[in-house]
Amino acid sequence: MRAEDRRKVILRAAAELFLGKGYAGVSMEDVLTEIGGSKATLYRHFADKAALFQASVELLCDEWSRPVQSFTPPGTDLGETLAALGGHFADLVLTPQAIALHRLVTAEAERMPEVGRAFFEHGPSAGQGVLAGYLRQAHDAGEIEIADPVRAAAQLYQAMLGDAQMRLLTNSPRKPDDAEVRESIAVAVRVFLRGAAPAPA
């Protein structure tokens, strides 16, 4: 097996273990038991458990966010584009696996800030960057007026999914259903476009 392929096997096994048992509940020996092979091979790829954890977080974020990164607008209407992109975000961040990863990283970020930074850069920041790109294009085309596309993207994302994501993260008794999530996205987009509408000439 090529070194690159072996590294991916290690990361996938480690990611599943971390999601299932938490950071403290997984040892390098657990990973080795899962994948087989020698301890020397494992440590040749990852110096310690912290490095393995960070790389696992990056792998999951990168894999899960591919539909957002390759997003194709359904048409030329900006509102439809933003709502469709919001749907992609929902399908990514509201899954049980994504919620589990978010909780796991949050629990360890104070002690391991580099893991929190990796999660943010490969996850939320990357996705909001895609959204910011569409807002920037719309601004340049005169469809909306915004001073900072990146900040506007972060605010729009929170308006679309912040409540649903927080309820899932905190295990709220009232879980959002799909219809509620889609309605939240639609309302957020409508309100945002009203607020960002160009001033009358």
pTM for the predicted model, two decimal places: 0.90
136's CB contacts (< 8 A; 6+ apart) are: 149
**Mean of pLDDT values over 1-15:** 87
Half-sphere exposure of 159 (CA within 13 A, CB side): 18
Predicted confidence (pLDDT) per residue in 124-175, tens digit: 999 999 999 999 999 999 999 999 999 999 999 999 999 999 999 999 999 9
pLDDT in tens, 63-104: 999 889 899 988 889 999 999 999 999 999 999 999 999 999
One-letter amino acid of 192 = F
pLDDT tens readout for residues 48-67: 999 999 999 999 999 999 88
Asked if residue 139 lies in contact with residue 175, where contact means CB atoms within 8 angstroms, the answer is no
Radius of gyration of the chain (CA): 20
- Where do we find the tokens 């569409």? 134
Tell whether the model's pLDDT for residue 201 goes beyond 70. no
**Residue 121 near residue 75, CB atoms below 8 Å:** no
Burial of 118 (0-12, 13-18, 19+ CB in 10 A): buried
Of 1.10.10.60, 3.50.50.60, 3.40.50.1010, 3.10.50.40, the CATH number of 3-59 is 1.10.10.60
Q: Which of 1.10.357.10, 1.10.620.20, 3.40.50.2300, 1.25.40.80 would CATH assign to domain 65-195?
A: 1.10.357.10
Task: Supply the DSSP symbol for 144.
Answer: -
